[in-house]
Every structure is written in C-alpha cells, then in structure tokens.
Amino acid sequence: MTKVVTLGQFIIERQSEFPYAKGELSRLLRDIGIAAKIVNREVNKAGLVDILGEAGTMNVQGEHVKKLDIYANEQFISALKSGGECSMIASEENEDVIHVNSAVSKNAKYIVAMDPLDGSSNIDVNVPIGTIFSIYRRKTEKGMCTMEDVLQKGTEQVAAGYIIYGSSTMLVYTTGHGVNGFTLDPSIGEFCFSHPNMKFPSSGKIYSLNEGNYVHFPEGVKKYLKYCQVEDDETSRPYTSRYIGSMVADIHRNMIKGGIFIYPTTASSPKGKLRLVYECNPLAFIVEQAGGRATNGFKRILDVNVKEIHQRTPIFIGSTDMVEKAEEFMRQYS
Ligand code: AHM
Ligand code: MG
C-alpha cells in the first residue's frame, strides 16, 4: 500500500533543508496550511451565497456575510498572529503593513507577504482562485519591525508558495530546494504529498495573457504574440491560447504543461497590473526553483528593487525558452 505523507509530516522530514532550521519556519508553514484549509471550506461554499446571503448583505440567519477575499485575509492574519512565528504581515487587502504586537510574536523572525485571495473577478463564477504567500527573515533583530524588514528583494525570500482552489485544492511551496505540491484530501482534511519535485517544462505551447488589451501592449509583446500565432512545424506553432484570469491557476497549468504567462504594461496600467511583493516575487521564486524563468521583460523579477509594498511590475513568467524568446522581442521592439 502506498504510504500517504501529509504536509505536516513532509515539513518535519525536510526541516533540515530549511535555512536556520530551528523549527520556526516549519511552524509558520504549518500555520499557513491550516488557514488554507479553513479558506478552502468557505471557497467551496461560495456557490451557496444565494441561499446563505450575498456577500456584503445579511444571510438567512441574519448574519453579516463577508466578501470571500476579506474572509480569507482575516483567516490568514489570524493564523499568523496566533502561530507566534510572524512579526509583520503585508497583504494585498491592507494599505499598511500589520505589526504583530503580541508578546510571543513581536520578536518572531519571519515576515509574511500575501495575496489572500487572488483572481477576485473569478470568485463568483466557480473558476479557480488562489492564495499566494512569500516569507522573509526579518532584518532587524527584535522589537517592532521596520519597513526595511518587508522591502527586501525577491532573492531574499526563504520560502514561498501558493494554494490553488480548483477542481481539487493544492498547496505548492518551495524553501529554495525545489518545488513540491500537496493535494487536499477532503475526506481526511489533510494536504497529501502528490507532486514531488515539480519541474517547469523548458519549452511549451501555451501562451496566457489578456489579449483584449492588445492595442495597449508594448510593441515587443505585440510582435511576440504574432510570433506565437504564426504557423511553423519545427516549433509546433501556432501555440495555444489559455487565459483563466487567475494568475495562480494560469501559472500552475503552465508549470504542468509548459507555457508562458505575460502581464505586460498597458496604457491603463503603465507600471503593469500585478504586484511585485506578494504576487510576482513568490511566483517567480517558485517558477525559478522549478527550472523556469521570470522577468519584467528585461530584468529578473527577483532582482527588482522593492520600494513599497504595493509596487506593481510587468511580468513574463514560465518555460525558460518561451520567456527568453519574448524577451528577445522586447529588447528589439520595446
Ligand atoms: P486581483 O489581485 O485583483 O485578483 O488581480 C490579480 C489578477 C490575476 O490573478 C490575474 O492574472 C489578473 O488579475 C487578471 O487581470 P485582467 O482581468 O486584467 O486580465
Ligand atoms: Mg491579487
């Protein structure tokens, strides 16, 4: 009989691989796993809002129904606060950083940046959504954290991961020693080790970007898109277009099948739409750890200087050969 390894067991077995290996990072990952299960339970019920009440209104029991992204934010923050290993949190849902001031946490060694529920436009339509998280070791020794602790480059991440709430729910993470994936078995309520040592295919046939923005794309992206659509037997073109509109789901699919995801600058988002600290850096870390590539079209995402927590960036991420090809077009035309 195959032995089932749960996320908790796996984290303990691999603890020696973690930087500083003192157990704190293991506990932090475990806390994130617990919050993910609670959020998953609510995400699965999202279709019942008509019965239970629309988000932002009262449900039939007269209780206030929270929007799912607010609910997810609260669950992750509460798990991180009570876990005691995180001293500061940056979240897409909060304008400012959150200092965890409890006696146990204020000297904790780790900072977490997160997008608690990414793909918000898909929440109400039963399409995969995700959670993205990034973990840094704080720079200051103890006491209240400063902005220096959170404004670290992507290269300084000690761990990063995502949860995809899809046809099944998965948690995928890295601590800089490859990428491993766990699938939630709802019957036992555990994330079970299912995708060992995930690898991004070096080339692929899928391109994912919002083509509706075509007229506003930089010239390099327009030319790359045309390249993807031209017939060529040797490189199996034309490629296939797949765009879910949930970055986690688009990148997860591409990691399994091979492909590129692009969110470039556009006329309405001249700095790009996606956020560096809690969307692009963690996904870039995971993708690089799986053998893929992530740049802003010219420069490695993980090397971009971080000036503020909600900073935006264009992103080209996925199979190395495809991202390099897109960069060639960017260098030539943009
Ligand atoms: P969100 O954080 O408000 O959900 O926005 C991020 C999402 C990504 O998951 C997705 O790739 C992108 O926005 C889709 O944007 P668009 O609708 O402009 O294509
Ligand atoms: Mg988001």
Structural contact between residues 242 and 256, judged by C-beta atoms closer than 8 angstroms:
no
Q: What pLDDT does 17 receive?
A: 76
Low-confidence ranges of the chain (pLDDT < 70): 1, 19, 21, 47-66, 103-104
**ipTM of the complex in this document:** 0.97
Ligand 1 atom closest to the CA of 250, numbered from 1? 11
Nearest CA to ligand 1 atom 18: 210
Alpha helices of the chain — where are they, by DSSP H?
A: 7-13, 24-44, 49-52, 68-83, 147-150, 219-229, 247-257, 281-289, 320-333
State in Å: Cα 121 to ligand 1 middle.
Answer: 7
C-alpha 226 – ligand 2 centre gap (Å)? 28
Q: Would you state the pLDDT for residue 104?
A: 67
Q: What are phi and psi of 115, to 5 degrees?
A: -110, 100
Cα–Cα distance, 188 to 245 (Å, whole number) = 31
DSSP 197: S
Distance from Cα 103 to the centre of ligand 2, integer Å: 31
Ligand 1 nearest atom to the CA of residue 120, by list position: 4
272 near 247, Cβ under 8 Å? no
pLDDT of residue 62: 59
SS3 label, residue 21 = coil
Q: List, as ranges, residues with CB under 5 A of the ion ligand 2.
A: 115, 118
What residue type is 17 in one-letter code?
E
Name the pTM for this structure. Answer: 0.95
